[in-house]
Chains A and B, each alone.
Chain A
């Protein structure tokens, strides 16, 4: 079918109210043509389907120093096809710093789920870009420090006000360095300074939760710097892309949007003959298969290597093949060219049954939804069949040439993960839960739902020889949620814990994703009928999960049990501990005194006063020996 006929068909389906069928055809159209014109068409038609097909609303802010507007139809079309209804706020040109610094910026009003910070080297560091030849070594160094520091300040300010995810583009290296080949001879050359700033960005993003780096420079390099740009578009419209680059830029953004919205595949089911190896094992026999380091078998080996990468990223691999089980299993286990072996596959279906039925079984066996499945098959009829039977399965479109199979899998954004840490997996599940709720009753999930969903179990116990090192380390390294920022050595912690009237408490936290280890420390001192909090801190990994309230509730409980009438604590502001600034007032403490150095807060414990542990945290209290 011509795409013009397909468009006609789609419009007929929409007019007839056959929304699911129309959405499927729109996906088909987008697979065949993902240019600017098709994008406008897809967006306009999906807008007619809004409310009639399941779509997850998502809000993206784009903070930029250049023209991004032509990316937006492409981005929104790609999102619609993925089941996401994207609202976009595009910041004013070069207003990114003000927007991030806030407060009350348009960005704040927009209430983004995620923001992209896309700035160019020539805008954020014009001196580095334009006047590099005139710069002395120390000036180059100063620019790197200034630019990286700027990013850090913006992100920090933003993070204080917003939990939205933030995706930062790396700065682009110059296509033609000002010193030409000399630039490569110099560790402090123009490209090297840009790389240094990018390294800083990465380091800094890794320290923050929900801040990710999009390697824009690598993206441009991958597609070819000379082809990426069209100087005419830059000069005429401040658009740093050629028309052919737009879809590559959007595809890279989609690699982030998929995991952010939970539109990801947890398992990939693969066909065998002419997919995982060349040839048909039932006809060609084991010896006749094309698979190995040489062409043409190398194409299949490269695909296997790519699948192994996915498996190590936590994506389950499965076999879904029409074959005689004995032939296929023998090849899987014994072919000398195989990189993947039976142990790499979480489920295996080799039979002559319908592939859609096999996929349903695989999903049941793995205890995942069919919408969390992806399917890889060289046979276009099987792909079409699965698309028709199970439209929620991600069916990967394969080109005819096996040498391009591996790339087709790598291009698929449903296998992207933002990190493999506990925290980010939680976020993913939060968005999945949001989508499920959207399907059920369209109720917006509350923060409480999120906390409950985490199933947190906290344990507060006095420090022991086993936890001493970690407790000292937390006092030394914790900057953000740290009320007094007092640094202690292991020895000091040990001494304090042995001193009469002192309590050194450590908080361990488990949740549905596993053990977070020791993530909180409180040190308190008994003074007559008042207790004084010397140290109270929380690892940045668990900020924003109300764990601090659980720890504080335990302190007030211990104090009251030992007859204290009130509990006091100090807050010493630093450049970094803004996340803790409202801790005491938010828990009902009143201000006793305040000066430039800090503030003193107190909570009356007589008459039932105290702090309650949040209902969604199960708290276990361990009482050690008292001195």
Chain B
């Protein structure tokens, strides 16, 4: 069974942000997850780039401030 983009993002976010995967929903964001500060945001971006083999634009990096925005950005890239 292949994982959905959301599941892959959730696993990475759980590692980087140090929160249980079960606590992460599509609505989770920099506002709702305490450990998601600007440094961890950079780490999260880099971890996603490694996992999905992409390089994000600065505008995208700014926009990717919630799990659903991250998933949407990645899915728009994969099309």
Contacts and interface: CB of A to CB of B under 8 A. Distances in A.
Q: Which secondary structure characterizes the binding site on chain B?
A: helix
Given A40-B15, A230-B55, A232-B58, A244 B50 contact: yes
Contact of B55 (A35, A37, A232, A239): A232
A70 B43 contact: yes
B11 interface: yes
A36 to B, nearest CB: 4
Contacts of B15: 37-38, 40-41
Contacts of A586: none
A279 B47 CA distance: 41
Contacts of B11: 4, 37
Q: Size range of the interface on A?
A: 20 to 34
Given A70-B46, A244-B50, A36 B16 contact: yes
Given A37-B15, A41-B15, A236-B61, A70 B42 contact: yes
Contacts of A317: none
B57 interface: yes
Given A232-B58, A235-B58, A37 B39 contact: no
Contacts of B39: 69
Interface string A229-272: 01010011101001110100000000000000000000000000
B42 A237 contact: yes
B50 A236 contact: no
B75 interface: no
B18 A44 contact: yes
B6 interface: no
A69 B42 contact: yes
B12 interface: yes
A210 interface: no
Contact of A40 (B16, B42, B45, B50): B16
A564 B51 CA distance: 78
B58 A37 contact: no
Interface in B24-52: 39, 42-43, 45-47, 49-51
A232 B62 CA distance: 12
A402 interface: no
A44 B18 CA distance: 8
B55 A242 contact: yes
Contacts of A36: 16, 43, 46-47, 50
Interface residues of B, number: 19
A36 B49 CA distance: 10
By CB atoms of chain B within 10 A, which of A37, A40, A44 has the most? Answer: A37
Contact of B46 (A44, A235, A246): A246
Contacts of A242: 49, 55
Contacts of A230: 55
Nearest to B17: A40
A42 to B, nearest CB: 9
A169 B37 CA distance: 29
B57 A35 contact: no
A67 B41 CA distance: 14
Contacts of A4: 11
B42 A37 contact: no
A93 B53 CA distance: 29
A40 B46 contact: no
Contact of B58 (A35, A41, A73, A236): A236
Contacts of B45: 243
B3 to A, nearest CB: 9
Contacts of A35: 47, 50-51
B58 to A, nearest CB: 4
A36 B15 CA distance: 9
B12 A37 contact: yes
A243 B42 contact: no
B7 to A, nearest CB: 10
Interface in A191-238: 230, 232, 235-237
A68 B21 CA distance: 27
Contact of A37 (B16, B56, B57, B61): B16
Contact of B49 (A38, A73, A243): A243
Interface of A: 4, 35-38, 40-41, 44, 67, 69-70, 73, 230, 232, 235-237, 239, 242-244, 246
25 contacts: A36-B16, A36-B50, A37-B16, A38-B15, A40-B15, A40-B16, A40-B18, A44-B18, A67-B42, A69-B39, A70-B42, A70-B43, A70-B46, A73-B43, A232-B57, A232-B61, A235-B58, A239-B42, A242-B49, A242-B55, A243-B45, A243-B46, A243-B49, A244-B49, A244-B50
Smallest CB-CB A-B distances: 7 pairs: A243-B49, A36-B47, A37-B15, A37-B47, A243-B46, A35-B50, A41-B15
Interface of B: 11-12, 15-16, 18, 39, 42-43, 45-47, 49-51, 55-58, 61
